[in-house]
Amino acid sequence: MINFADANILYMERIKLHDKYFKPFISNKEIIEAIEKIALKLNNRYKNRETPIFLAVLNGSFMFAAHLLERLQFNCEISFIRLSSYSGTASTGKVCEVFGLDLSVKGRDVIIIEDIVDTGNTVAELFRILTEKGAEDIGICTLLFKPKAYKKDLKVEYAAISIPNDFIVGFGLDYNELGRQYKDIYVLDES
């Protein structure tokens, strides 16, 4: 796992979304390098396994999922589910399913693709749903992981980048639906 908390990124500019400012945090180059390392781990684990299902959590994971899947060297399926637990810059602590699964996971390997794992509420709820639906093996793959905020016992096997418990946007992550399109990641600027 790569830790970019102290990255020196001088070539990105500060951005404003709604009423808040965000400063550069992780460059696209560093994001792509981290994704390539996670893809290598997944390629090693699943190259000789039955076709796994990647279950991407919308909306935030769409960019991560796209970049990750194009680097995989084994057959796989992808499906999407939408769960939400954020309001503004804070987690509500409650997870509500918006879109459900559209394929059977019974007896299958499933890898959850998340944009960010902080408290773990979303992955824990999804893990529960997949277990109830009969998934054989469930892995958790996330672009960003906040170890100090994580409160669950589930192992996050594939975490590309470890970050502090700060609010971030870009590369699929948003602040009240703005900022997803940025190729870099920005952190809330409280100065």
The mean per-residue pLDDT over the stretch 77-94 comes to 69
The mean per-residue pLDDT over the stretch 29-43 comes to 98
Q: What is the dihedral of CA 53, 113, 127, 167, to 10 degrees?
A: -170
Task: Give percent above pLDDT 70 in the chain.
Answer: 85
Task: Give percent above pLDDT 90 in the chain.
Answer: 76
Residue 102 C-beta-side C-alpha neighbours within 13 Å: 9
- Model confidence at 101, pLDDT cuts 50, 70, 90, reads confident
Is 153 a residue of the active site? no
Tell whether pTM > 0.95. no
* Residue 118 is assigned to a structural domain of this protein: yes
Residue 10: is its pLDDT beyond 50?
A: no
* Residue 189 is assigned to a structural domain of this protein: no
Rounded to whole angstroms, the Cα distance separating 103 from 97 reads 16
- Model confidence at 103, pLDDT cuts 50, 70, 90, reads confident
* Residue 177 is assigned to a structural domain of this protein: no
Residue 81: is its pLDDT beyond 60?
A: yes
Q: Which amino acid makes up residue 142?
A: T
Is there a contact between 57 and 112 (Cβ–Cβ < 8 Å)? Answer: yes
* Residue 14 is assigned to a structural domain of this protein: no
The mean per-residue pLDDT over the stretch 128-149 comes to 96
Burial class (CB in 10 A: 0-12, 13-18, 19+), 135: buried
* Residue 5 is assigned to a structural domain of this protein: no
Residue 84: is its pLDDT beyond 80?
A: no
Q: What is the 3-state secondary structure (H, E, C) of 79-91?
A: EEEEEEEEECCEE
Query: Which of 65-79, 93-107, 141-155 has the weakest average pLDDT?
Result: 93-107
Residue 148 tokens read as 């100090």
- Evaluate the omega torsion of the peptide bond into residue 176 and state whether it is cis, within 30 degrees of 0: no
Domain hosting residue 157, numbered range: 30-165
Look over the chain and give the mean of its residue pLDDT values, rounded to a whole number.
89
- Which of 185, 188, 141, 171 minimizes the C-alpha distance to 18? 188
* Residue 94 is assigned to a structural domain of this protein: yes
Domain CATH number, residue 47? 3.40.50.2020
The mean per-residue pLDDT over the stretch 132-152 comes to 96
Residue the block writes with tokens 């971030």: 168
Is there a contact between 83 and 98 (Cβ–Cβ < 8 Å)? Answer: yes
Is there a contact between 126 and 112 (Cβ–Cβ < 8 Å)? Answer: yes
Domain count, the chain: 1
Query: Which of 35-44, 86-95, 120-129, 182-191 has the weakest average pLDDT?
Result: 86-95
From the candidates 109, 118, 174, 184, give the one annotated as an active-site residue: 118
* Residue 62 is assigned to a structural domain of this protein: yes
- The rounded Cα 45 to chain-centroid distance in angstroms is 19
* Residue 6 is assigned to a structural domain of this protein: no
The mean per-residue pLDDT over the stretch 60-69 comes to 97
